[in-house]
Every structure is written in structure tokens, then in C-alpha cells.
Amino acid sequence: MAAKDIFHDAVKHALKKGGWTITHDPFFLSFGGVNMYVDLGAERIIAADRGDEKIAVEVKSFVGPSATTEFNFALGQFLKYQLALEEEHPERVLYLAVPVDAEREFFRLELPRRLIERYNVRLLIYDPEEEVIVKWQT
């Protein structure tokens, strides 16, 4: 199992503050002969007549020396997890959690923005200091 991202607990607390119940930490997937661990699984009841929402969240910090390198790795993970979830847990929606600073400084650049659009990467933008979700970008 991979090590937790440095902001793992901040995102976990932010989800709890937002009314989510953490169901998996980490969320185990096995697909195509490969075992994988998405950082978090969560769910929340929307309303009695609508059931519940289920998500999986891959947490990234983007604190390393190269945002491009971290993005390359994160996008590859996201696409791998997305395929596995579609096949094994189609009720669960995958999000890539990124800190608000990275979203402002890197994710608004043309290349990352276009890749996110092309591959339908859902972003969960969080504030690691306040431990809150700033925006859900679908």
C-alpha cells in the first residue's frame, strides 16, 4: 500500500466537515490483475427519496519541485482508478483532490486545464490549513 499524502488527513477532515462519512481509508480496488488503493472512500445521504452519493478521492499535495511531474503522476493514477471504478464500482464517482494554491497557480494553465477537460477529471479543491473543501469541480 502506498504512503499517505501529506494532506490526506486535512482532506479527510474537510470531507467530514462537509457531511461525508468516510467509509474506506484507503479504498481498495482490484482490477485487471492489479491491486490499487485510492486514498479515501466516502458517502453521504442526500435525501430519503434520492439515496446516497458515493465517492472515491485521490489526494495530492503538489508541494514538490515540479507541478508538471506531480500532475503527470496524478493524471495517470486518476485514469487507472477511473477505469477500475467504472468496472467494479460504477456507483462511485472519483475525484482528484488538489490544494487551492495548486488549483490557482497550475490547474488554470492551458495544458492542465485542457487535459482535465478532455479526460473528465473531477477536482475537489481543498484548503489544507482550514481543512475545508473550497470547490467541487465536475
Residue 127: give the domain boundaries.
Answer: 3-44+51-137
* Percent share of the chain, pLDDT over 90: 86
Residue 25's DSSP bridge partners are: none
**14, 68, 97 from 128: Cα distances, Å:** 9, 20, 11
pTM of the model: 0.92
pLDDT in tens, 10-46: 999 999 999 999 999 999 999 999 999 999 999 987 6
Q: What is the mean pLDDT of the chain?
A: 92
Domain at 87, CATH number: 3.40.1350.10
Spatial separation of the C-alpha atoms in residues 9 and 28, rounded to whole Å: 18
Is the pLDDT reported for residue 95 higher than 70? yes
Q: How many domains does the chain have?
A: 1
